[in-house]
Structure 1
Amino acid sequence: MRTIDWISGHIRLIDQTALPATVTVLDIHAVEELVDAIKRLAVRGAPALGVAGAMGVALAVRNLPAERARETIATLRAARPTAVNLALGVDVALAAFERGGADAALDAALRVRDDDIAACRAMARRGTDLLDRLLPGRSRLRVLTICNTGALASVEHGTALGVIEKLHSDDRLDRAVVCETRPLLQGARLTAWELRQMGAPYDLIVDSAAPITIIRGGIDAVLVGADRIAANGDTANKIGTLGLALAAARASVPFLVVAPETTVDLRTPSGEAIEIEDRGGAEVCTFHGVQTAPDGTTARNPAFDVTPADLITAIVTDQRTIDLSDNETPAHRPLPAQHAG
């Protein structure tokens, strides 16, 4: 089933907090329920958040008086500040509502969903083609990834994990190496689950084992997603991504960011302008509800870090490949003519 969809007048999504133990489906009938699902990461991943934002607007304007709808939409838009897709999805559906009413908002939300499905397929093709060019003559690849960038982070297929899925379906994946991704284990719980569902070979490693694994030659390429890509190519992604990029640069291993064009935010000039969400100390000081740190321990819990553009080999979107190693940037590598504007 799709990670998130519109079913009979409401939103239906997979509760990612229940995985891998059970596949639990949530039926969302109110925006407040959707905001709660987003904040506790029942739905997460930049593309899926974009769809959630658009569908949340459709839900609000269909079920609430205008003033109350606008209040709840504003709360929805601010639920995850680092990921640009959530705000973009909200803005697209809200603009459609302003032009044509509630039906137009729903139509826009469904287009966001369908566009994401098409974008993921395009990124998978573009990403594997780029790996062919960067790693000529290697028929089977060992790739490393962090967090979850698969179907659970989108609607179907995914971004970076979508590339890995295509490598596997083409019988070109030697092995995927998955960082467990502390503190909430999206790699161990979600990415490993998705790889097992597709029958792909994989190994799980603790986050701190990733640099030595890369530097000692165990990896051919690093593939990650993105929550926001600045105009200069700096990229915000799950905390721990920066360390992978540093190790990949040291080992001269290609480091690819795979994300839809909607994640590129030309209004953000560089990574310095990206707000980094801190999720609070409870996720660090406890594990599965059990306290693991002494009473009174304070913790820092940034959910994301920013990888500078000069550590990224290329950015792969559904519409273009931006070669940062050749000094291209999202702002100065134009879209193909058919996509411009």
Structure 2
Amino acid sequence: MQLNRIDMNLLVYLDVLLRERSVTRAADQLGISQPAMSNGLRRLRVLFDDPLLIRTSEGMTPTERARQLEPTLRTVLQDIERAVQPRSDFDAAASGRVFRIMVSDYAESTLIPPLLRRLREIAPSVILDLMTPSDVSFFDVEQGKVDLVINRFNSIPQSFHQTTVWKDDFCCMVSRDNPILDNFSLKNYLEAQHVWVSKTGFGVSVGVDPGDVQRLGWVDEVLRQLGKKRRITVFTRHYQAAMLLSEQNDLVLTVPSRAALLQAENPRLVVKAPPFEIPPIQLKLVWSPLLHHDPAHRWMRRLINEVAEEVIAPEF
């Protein structure tokens, strides 16, 4: 097969078809008619002498040949896009670009406010569209429909780019009237009632099983390794709400230290070091390889990392 006989648009069609697994959605993505996309798929089948996508009960399913082609095809198209992309710098001060960022409540509370303040100074027309983990899937990120993800992860797809925004230690927040302050020991910590707060990863949550310790997160996993278990009374996904709940004089909240800064001036709360050692968490910045070389995207990633360095972890 001679390269000059190949319509390069067909390779773009195939890439989008393998992403969307739907002729209709692929046509919408490329801004062409459905008959034009169907014709493109017919030509692709002739070109590769393979059905490529077969209709099954689960929709359009790629053949083995298509699955083998997919990573190579994506790499080739990315290289071509990078080669022809203008190298002009991103003019942040004049840009009105919308950056769609999936961000956990923890990161939204601690990192986004100083980021927004910086944006108002240097790029006042840039818009942030902040999304929750329940709004986004790994597939959305892979396609570049979401610019960035800022969250904590147990695992992410190997194709994604990532960097560590910061590491954060843990602290405890309790009411100034909580009797536990007289002796903040591990024994009393375990006997107390606790507020649990977290939301990591992607997808819609269906609730928490208090008995499933391994899914409760860092704090409870450490306690499990110690052969201990705390009594969780309230489960929430919002850090500000959790800190307000900890004002009640019989509840203990254990959170990353930068989150505690949000209520550092609250006279009703006392911040204490945990009565056991908890390894620090890592807040990650994650993005699709499709956006890795985009000048605006590179600018935003650098800005986020610069702002993150200024959010100093407190020492309690």
**TM-score normalised by structure 2 residue count:** 0.28
Higher relative contact order, chain-length normalized (CA < 8 Å, sep 6+): 2
**TM-score normalised by structure 1 residue count:** 0.26
